[in-house]
Structure 1
Amino acid sequence: MTAPAVRVVVVDDDGLVRAGLRLILGGSDGVEVVGEAADGREGLAVVERERPDVVLMDIRMPVLDGLTATRRLVEGRSTARVIVLTTFDTDEMVLTALRHGAAGFLLKDTPPEDLVAGVVRVARGEPMLSPSVTAQVITAATRGGDDSRERSARQRIERLTEREREVAVAIGRGLSNSEIAAELYMGMATVKTHVGRLFTKLEVTNRVQIALCVHDAGLG
């Protein structure tokens, strides 16, 4: 039985970018662009109407920027997973979006096959960032330090059991569930259980936020 197509909404103020993404995603098997918008406010309305699996969200837009739109989606308990679109992978606003609950980010010049793969992975709830990209994001996010953020992260980490902490650190290194299972000698079901508990105990909504918490606490 064929799996249902991943439903995607594209939010970007550049018409050419939207057209390009629609062409790339629409031409792939298993992905369907169900809506698009030119600013964050319009994007929120389209997401509410279409109920997509994934939202490709530009950061800098008129009327309502992508950062605010992402935060409102997450706070509104939207089931759509947000992928931030950016031109530079060190964009400070991207890091803020990740802290607010974005599932990951893609550069606008990402090769088409990688863009499609990224969308599908996020729709499945899989980790978005490769270990190398995770390390780069974490380094930029934690540069300069923030004492209050570190204290908060350490307090949340203290809630974890030893095994949960090991899983959290592995996620902070960018490992997938299967890689964690192999490294820590766990079954996949056990890993998934631990990850679910991390979401609750660390008060996060995705794996990127787990990684940020781990590094804020000085564990990675």
Structure 2
Amino acid sequence: MGNKVIQTALILEDIVDVNAWIKQMLLETFEGIRIQQAYSLDEAKHLLMSQHYDLALIDLSLPDGKGIEVVDWLVQYSAETISVVVTIFEDDQYLFEAISHGAKGYLLKDLEPIVFKKHLENLIAGLYAFSPTMTQKLLNYVKTQEQLNQKKQQLKESLALTNREKQVLIHIAKGQQVSEIGYELGLSSHTVSGYVKEIYRKLQISSRAEAALLAKQYGLI
């Protein structure tokens, strides 16, 4: 995002007390900041049409619609504006929807003031603003995606096994030793060991247990 200058902000929050609290957080964080407050989606849209904002703090659930519409509008018509969702919703679906629509942060309303303001300060340095629990959800998601990608790669590599390698894998999965595999397939132990090494390399595994599991997953046994 790069370093940012935040001089103007829009708050979209229908609960008066919460709107006022967010305003106070902004005033304490950014000296001289000019703030406009909206209490409905329609009001926010009118304010957005009248001027540019450096920062928009947006509630998701509003009486007349969804705050995500404002995130969409800003991405399309005011890309320089930093959109940060401020909400009570901790659900994954809301978090990932906000990110996919272009939000640069996702803060929960129950954050301590000092923590909330710290996240706002981070925006100046071009950092994203996520509540700790939301950050953990993102990390878990990334980890899950990495695991899925690894599984996909393993599946791709399994399809690249030669027929002989698949035969050897089946015997490995059955718990047979190299000498037994060689006897049944009419191969030397040295040749079988070479196949085993190549199978492990292609499937990115290091044990017979993993080999058995993958052979079962791929329908070889």
Give the TM-score taking structure 1 as reference length.
Answer: 0.55
Q: After superposition, where does 1:130-209 map in structure 2 within 5 Å?
A: 133-137=134-138, 139=140
Say how many residue pairs are matched: 145
Residue 49 of structure 1 deviates from its aligned partner by: 2.7
What corresponds to 1:174 in structure 2?
none
Is residue 10–residue 18 contact of structure 1 (8 Å, CA) maintained in 2? yes
2: CA distance, partners of 1:97 / 1:137? 12
Percent identity for Structure 1 against Structure 2: 22
What corresponds to 2:75 in structure 1?
74
What corresponds to 2:48 in structure 1?
47
CA RMSD of aligned residues (A): 3.3
2: CA distance, partners of 1:31 / 1:131? 28
What corresponds to 1:105 in structure 2?
106
1: CA distance, partners of 2:127 / 2:85? 16
2: CA distance, partners of 1:46 / 1:106? 23
Residues 107/129 of structure 1: CA separation in 2 closer, same or farther (3 Å cut): closer
2: CA distance, partners of 1:89 / 1:61? 17
Residue 78 of structure 1 deviates from its aligned partner by: 3.3
Residue 99 of structure 1 deviates from its aligned partner by: 0.7
Q: Secondary structure at the match of 1:125?
A: coil
Q: Give structure 1 stretches of 5+ with no counterpart.
A: 151-220
Whose Rg is larger? Answer: 2
2: CA distance, partners of 1:58 / 1:117? 19
Q: Give structure 2 stretches of 5+ with no counterpart.
A: 150-221
1: CA distance, partners of 2:74 / 2:6? 22
1: CA distance, partners of 2:76 / 2:128? 21
Residue 141 of structure 1 deviates from its aligned partner by: 9.0
The Cα offsets for residues 25-51 of structure 1, whole Å up to 9 and x where unpaired, read as 223453624201012232133234342
Q: Secondary structure at the match of 2:33?
A: strand
